[in-house]
Amino acid sequence: MRTILSRTVSIAFVPTQLLSLAPSVSESMSWWSGPLLVLWLYLPGYLANTAAMFGGKWIPDLTGIEPRPIDGGRTLSDGYRVLGDGKTWNGLLGAVVGAGLLCMLTHALGENHLVDNGIFVDPLLWAGPEDWFWIGGEWGAAFIVGAFLGFGCMIGDCTGSFIKRRMGKKREGDESSEAPLLDTLPFAIFTFAMGLLMFPSALVGNSDLMIAMFGLLVLTPVIHRLTNMFGYWVGLKEVPY
């Protein structure tokens, strides 16, 4: 019998072990392990923007495929684009597929990592064949979970872009208008909401993680800036924000 977060648990597709659902997850998380656990579980959503850059910029540059803006180039009555050229169907597809593949990786790395105050654990913990997303076995389920987290990230990202356009903040070519909170909070909020709404039976969607989610949300602008600086350093982004 293995233990995680002070609970006797097992992965649902291991039939020789039993599953106990008490006590709550929140009772077993520290001030530091909670946000780190959430960051690990939601890593596919947090890195979906990077995957979107591959799908929306690198692959089109390499293949010559023309990126297609989600808003089709349309403007609203205020004279500004609905979303702008930075939000493309190519990037959306890259984000969804990339996040799905990344969740398969976190599932593989966390599958047997069941320890007290564990961080690198399986996002599919407590899920099983009875869940709606369990299509194609555990690996199909992992891909679906990641894909939805990536999709949630893109919804939040588009929401932030929509608000920026309404505020008159325009993209200038490849350079996004800088708006730290609108570049970070919407994608994180929508990613968390997607996990909580779509996967409540799995650890990734456990409602006891909401306090830890709030803690990570406060840190997200810093994390976002650091990842963007890294993307700029390796040539993935035109600007470090």
Domain membership of residue 226 (yes or no) is: yes
Contact 148, 192 (CB under 8 A): no
Domain range enclosing 45: 33-233
Domain membership of residue 26 (yes or no) is: no
Instruction: Report residue 20's pLDDT band, with 50, 70 and 90 as the boundaries.
Output: very low
Mean pLDDT of 108-133: 81
Number of domains present in the structure of the chain: 1
Contact 76, 82 (CB under 8 A): yes
Contact 17, 1 (CB under 8 A): yes
Domain membership of residue 5 (yes or no) is: no
Contact 80, 184 (CB under 8 A): no
Nearest-angstrom CA–CA distance, 48 and 52: 6
Domain membership of residue 165 (yes or no) is: yes
Domain membership of residue 185 (yes or no) is: yes
Mean pLDDT of 223-228: 72
pLDDT of residue 67: 87
Domain membership of residue 15 (yes or no) is: no
Instruction: Report residue 25's pLDDT band, with 50, 70 and 90 as the boundaries.
Output: low
Tell me the per-residue pLDDT of 124-149, one tens digit each, with 9 for 90 and over.
999 999 999 999 999 999 999 999 99
Residue 84 sits at φ, ψ, to 5 deg, of 110, 170
Nearest-angstrom CA–CA distance, 13 and 146: 19
Domain membership of residue 83 (yes or no) is: yes
pLDDT of residue 190: 96
Domain membership of residue 39 (yes or no) is: yes
Nearest-angstrom CA–CA distance, 241 and 228: 5
Contact 157, 53 (CB under 8 A): no
